[in-house]
Amino acid sequence: MKHSFIWQGRNDGEGEAHLRIHQVINTQAHASYALIGFSSDEGVKRNKGRLGAADAPDAIRAQLANLPVHQALSIADLGTVICVDGDLEKAQAELADQVEVCLSSGSQTIVLGGGHEVAFGSFSGLFQYVQKHQPNQTIGIINFDAHFDLREADHVSSGTPFLNAAHLLAQYQQEFHYLCIGVAKHANTQVLFETADRLNCRYIYDQALRESNLDAITLKINQFIEKVDVLYVTVDLDVFSASIAPGVSAPAVKGIDLSVFDPLFQAIKNSGKIKVFDVAECNPKFDLDNRTAKLAAYIIFNYLFD
């Protein structure tokens, strides 16, 4: 773990009403929330995407630092797991261990990616925690993403994390509960749809994600959540339109809108079942005016505050 980011920003005055996140982070011994960075785009490289996501954790932190604190918040920054010399498997294992430690200390974990290979590390950490502490509990995965990320490959990559998760669960004779929201038909091959169907995945097309359809979609999501005990929620920023998320590995031609995402994300949060949450595929190298990093920080802000 590397601790190099300096939390700093505006100071508007004395008193709680003026506080920003940089003023409250790392100030309490036991934090309700813990941030972990995951500096890697090795999985994107293996998946033949455009590189730059390794720089995301600190870019997102910089946008989080100045956001206001609207209610009591205890949050810690535990540093960043770095993928060294292309050893993605080692980095994912290290992330998993850090996530497990976080959960064992009672902190909800927020992971800042990095390529979407972050997902297998985040999931594995939750899996390890559940195996040790609540082995009878069922894990559900909700992925906001244009892509299934169920790719068959010889090595783990940003395209394989949920198939990797399915295989891990199968080793322990456990069911794979996976809901992918925002799937773009033009961004997934037929074999990926066949894999999703074979694994009994649930998915909602990007074209269905309209404000007029919110009640029906929320019902689908709640039906999925009811069947599981704890949730791992991951947001791949390429699920959004390139106009608000230009800095990603694979920018979306269509993408979903925040007016739809926000209420769905709120509904999932309201379940009280989220244990691990991450944002993935922020790529500062291709960002414009920090739009994508700001979007990631905005989503995390909405996760932290009611």
Residues 6 or more apart whose Cβ sits within 8 Å of residue 42: 83, 86, 87, 88, 91, 115, 117
**Is 206 a known ligand-binding residue?**
no
**Is 149 a known ligand-binding residue?**
yes
For residue 44 the two structure tokens come to: 């994107």
CA angle 165, 128, 140 (to 5 degrees): 50
**Is 116 a known ligand-binding residue?**
yes
**Is 147 a known ligand-binding residue?**
yes
Contact 206, 236 (CB under 8 A): no
Report which residue type is found at 164: N
Q: How far apart are the C-alpha atoms of 85 and 282, rounded to whole Å?
A: 21
For residue 77 the two structure tokens come to: 């920054």
Q: 285: exposed, middle or buried (C-beta count within 10 Å: 0-12, 13-18, 19+)?
A: middle
**Is 145 a known ligand-binding residue?**
yes
- As annotated, the binding site includes 116, 145, 147, 149, 236, 238
Binding-site residue ranges for Mn(2+): 116, 145, 147, 149, 236, 238
